[in-house]
């Protein structure tokens, strides 16, 4: 059954445009509180709310708080916190659910609502359908003596910092390492620098002064150019870039070269396989670089592709009983450490892997060998049936012929933004770029 509001990662859109409006979010809080109360299990009668640094977060925090309280469920406010921190704290506080007010890597004028269940995992489809059905019902406030109570958790930041540090060995130390951290002016601004400093690193933080509208603005994992430049200028060992809610991470090696999620996933898989703790194989996505697949195959590590989106990566991991998966965008899941994609924890796992092999980031990436890949995001609202457009079909056929069976072409509508992702992969970088641009031009005309 198609969902009306929920996408691949909660509900997201432009602030002030339905459904990202205070009245809708108020009712969403009430609907979620009502539904989740039915699935209490052993959890306590409370829901946690966290947010990133967007100025609109204050409005939607208040709306959710009122709606949940009206449903008779207590609220615990966390303030600005990374999305994976809410997942962790939801479990440790035995809460019914955790809610994150964030649009992840999107600009400040977007916002969204993400949910975690009491187990620290994204809500399943059945519960999301129940919440949507409840949204169609009239909102009924409980009597005054039954309303939920609200208070703030003052030590949430410290709890999460200690959890992050606990995911690496006790003797692990970053002493002697100079690391540049790009916090995307987002939720990690007051957490990531402390994590790495407390582990001994000489930290140079950038984009760590949020003002409500500069989140993801020419910074973070979506715009890593400033980080690449700063790593070279500071003669740092490496750089780490998070997105606005810190569930994604990309890195920069000592030469200023960008290291994407596929390469980070390879480093983690290779290290775990070498230590005999991989437990199965690796889940990538349709967008994962072909070089990752080949490098893992050479090392006898099983690899499968899921649909794009962390929920689909998680589905494959759960079905197979595997622990490691992720996306080129930097959303990496280490189920041996936590329940969801976590940028800070993934970065720590990579650093631990580098230490165990006594190599630098550039050397570790060289062992994979990426296939030339071009990705173009084409923005447009009229995406229905675009893949059947004659010009798009013709451009796709020409690309397939040009690649001659030695590459891949992928068209994928985004589940979180009004755009189509055009990806071409092959052996010849110049040809890949030309073919991708040709397809993107056809798609642009089709969805304009």
| Residues designated as active site | 104
Q: How far apart are CA 409 and CA 422, in angstroms?
A: 8
Residues 362, 367, 373, 378: is their CA dihedral positive or negative?
negative
12, 110 in Cβ contact below 8 A? yes
CB 113 within 8 A of CB 72: no
**Alpha carbon separation from 65 to 14, 26, 142, 313 (Å, rounded):** 21, 8, 14, 31
> Nearest Cα to 332, choosing from 348, 318, 354, 321?
348
409 in the Ramachandran plot: left (φ > 0), alpha (ψ -120 to 50) or beta? beta
Rounded Cα–Cα distance for residues 186 and 189 (Å) = 6
Instruction: Using alpha carbons, list the distances in angstroms from residue 393 to 234, 387, 399.
Output: 48, 7, 10
- What is the rounded distance in angstroms from the CA atom of residue 150 to the CA atom of residue 155? 16
CA distances (Å), origin 312, targets 87, 208, 306, 308, 355 = 17, 31, 6, 7, 31
Q: What are phi and psi of 432, to 5 degrees?
A: -60, -45
**Total residues belonging to the chain:** 448
Give the separation between CA 219 and CA 275, rounded to whole angstroms: 35
Q: What are the tokens at 227?
A: 């980080």
């Amino acid at each position: 059954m198609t969902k009306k509001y929920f996408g691949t990662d909660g509900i997201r859109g432009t602030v002030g445009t339905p459904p990202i409006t205070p009245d809708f979010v108020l009712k969403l809080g009430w609907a979620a509180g009502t539904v989740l109360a039915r699935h209490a299990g052993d959890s306590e009668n409370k829901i946690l709310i966290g947010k990133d640094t967007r100025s609109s977060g204050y409005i939607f925090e208040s709306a959710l708080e009122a709606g949940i309280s009206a449903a008779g469920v207590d609220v615990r406010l966390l303030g600005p916190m990374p999305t994976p921190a809410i997942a962790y704290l939801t479990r440790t506080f035995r809460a019914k659910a955790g809610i994150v007010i964030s649009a992840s890597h999107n600009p400040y004028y977007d916002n969204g609502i993400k949910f975690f269940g009491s187990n620290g995992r994204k809500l399943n489809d059945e519960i999301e359908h129940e919440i949507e059905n409840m949204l169609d019902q009239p909102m009924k406030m409980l009597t005054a003596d039954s309303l939920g109570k609200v208070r703030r958790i003052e030590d949430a930041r410290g709890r999460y910092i200690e959890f992050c540090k606990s995911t690496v060995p006790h003797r692990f130390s970053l002493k002697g390492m100079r690391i540049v951290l790009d916090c995307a002016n987002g939720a990690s601004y007051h957490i990531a620098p402390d994590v790495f400093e407390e582990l001994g690193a000489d930290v140079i933080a950038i984009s760590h002064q949020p003002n409500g509208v500069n989140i993801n603005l020419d910074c973070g994992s979506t715009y890593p150019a400033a980080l690449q430049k700063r790593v070279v200028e500071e003669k740092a060992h490496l750089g780490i870039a998070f997105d606005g809610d810190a569930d994604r991470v990309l890195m920069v090696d000592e030469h200023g070269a960008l290291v994407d999620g596929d390469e980070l996933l390879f480093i983690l898989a290779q290290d775990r396989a070498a230590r005999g703790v991989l437990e199965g194989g690796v889940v990538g996505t349709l967008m994962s670089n072909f070089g990752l697949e080949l490098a893992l195959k050479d090392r006898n590590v099983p690899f499968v592709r899921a649909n794009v989106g962390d929920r689909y990566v998680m589905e494959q991991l759960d079905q197979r009983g595997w622990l490691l998966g992720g996306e080129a965008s930097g959303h990496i899941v280490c189920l041996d450490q936590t329940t969801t994609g976590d940028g800070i924890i993934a970065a720590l796992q990579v650093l631990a892997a580098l230490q165990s092999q006594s190599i630098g980031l550039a050397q570790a990436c060289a062992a994979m060998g990426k296939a030339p890949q071009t990705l173009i995001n084409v923005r447009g609202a009229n995406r229905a049936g675009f893949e059947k457009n004659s010009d798009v079909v013709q451009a796709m056929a020409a690309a397939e012929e040009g690649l001659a069976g030695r590459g891949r072409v992928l068209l994928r509508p985004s589940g979180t933004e009004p755009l189509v992702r055009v990806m071409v992969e092959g052996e010849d970088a110049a040809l890949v770029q030309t073919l991708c641009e040709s397809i993107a031009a056809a798609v642009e005309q089709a969805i304009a």
